[in-house]
């Protein structure tokens, strides 16, 4: 089951990536009620997810950012889903960047098993990079959309947090918080999946996650394989599985900023978060 499902995840991510590349120069977008963009490509890739995965999973076990009824039913306790697997897709993460013809966007698909991170694929089409995880470890493909892709296993590193280290942040952080530059510096990418994946290849020491389950579901298994933790910055509680109580029922965002980092970096990065 694992290899079949992982193969489908990879196939979906790269089919979606090729569509995203082909359509990026010809986009129209509308603003959703939360002032984020949605494009026709977001909707097209959401539909593609259902077509791709419904042959192996019931529809009620599939959640995408653009079609969240199944998530709402789960959080309200009205879902008929009783299986161990939950598949969560972000068709385009960083849609604002995507719409403005920037390369910093990603496509994320993750499988939770008993609500715990299990399999994940995140691809960055314009960067030509794909990250993925399985029971065998975490991996990165470079040249992912070219004729000669190269796959390498990712290993744990032991970077220190120093003043010139970088924490990767999304716009959601700056709405209610500012950063203490005495801890280290920051990079605002406006793409949560980049923020989550890049520290696994030493492009930053961590991130502060303030968003939705679909933003992290593909990256979470990769982070888990490499020893990163998700911990509430206020409560200190580790997020080890998808617990509805960690998320606001209306916005579907986490209720508190979550630091994604190696365990020994948590206390130091916690000092960087300052509420306005």
Question: In angstroms, rounded to a whole number, what is the distance separating the alpha carbons of residues 117 and 37?
Answer: 27
- pLDDT value at residue 74: 84
- Pick the closest to residue 140 from 120, 115, 165, 167 (CA basis): 120
- pLDDT value at residue 143: 98
Low-confidence residues of the chain: pLDDT under 70: 1
Whole-model pTM: value is 0.96
Question: In angstroms, rounded to a whole number, what is the distance separating the alpha carbons of residues 119 and 79?
Answer: 23
Domains along the chain with CATH numbers: 2-153 (3.30.540.10), 166-275 (3.40.190.80)
Query: 140-168, pLDDT tens digit by residue?
Result: 999 999 999 999 999 988 788 999 999 99
- pLDDT value at residue 77: 80
- pLDDT value at residue 147: 97
Contacts of 8 (CB under 8 A, 6+ apart): 52, 53, 56
HEC string of 127-149 equals HCEEEEEECCEEEEEECCCCCCC
């Amino acid at each position: 089951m694992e290899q079949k499902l992982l193969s489908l995840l990879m196939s979906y991510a790269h089919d979606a990536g090729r569509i995203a590349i082909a359509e990026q120069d010809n986009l129209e977008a509308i603003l959703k009620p939360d002032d984020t963009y949605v494009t026709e490509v977001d909707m097209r890739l959401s539909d593609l997810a259902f077509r791709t995965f419904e042959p192996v999973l019931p529809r009620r076990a599939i959640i995408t950012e653009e079609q969240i009824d199944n998530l709402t039913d789960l959080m309200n306790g009205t879902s008929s889903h009783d299986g161990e697997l939950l598949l969560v897709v972000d068709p385009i993460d960083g849609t604002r960047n995507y719409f403005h013809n920037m390369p910093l966007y990603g496509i994320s698909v993750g499988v939770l098993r008993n609500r715990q991170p299990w399999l994940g694929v995140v691809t960055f089409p314009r960067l030509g990079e794909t990250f993925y995880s399985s029971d065998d470890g975490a991996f990165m493909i470079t040249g992912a959309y070219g004729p000669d892709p190269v796959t390498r296993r990712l290993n744990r590193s032991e970077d220190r947090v120093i003043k010139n280290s970088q924490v990767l942040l999304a716009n959601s952080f700056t709405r209610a918080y500012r950063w203490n530059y005495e801890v280290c510096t920051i990079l605002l990418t406006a793409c949560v999946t980049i923020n989550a994946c890049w520290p696994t290849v030493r492009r930053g020491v961590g991130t502060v996650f303030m968003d939705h389950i679909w933003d992290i579901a593909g990256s979470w298994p990769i982070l888990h394989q490499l020893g990163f933790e998700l911990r509430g910055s206020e409560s200190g509680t580790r997020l080890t599985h998808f617990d509805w109580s960690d998320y606001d029922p209306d916005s579907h965002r986490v209720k508190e900023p979550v630091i994604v980092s190696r365990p020994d970096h948590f206390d130091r990065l916690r000092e960087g978060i300052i509420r306005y």
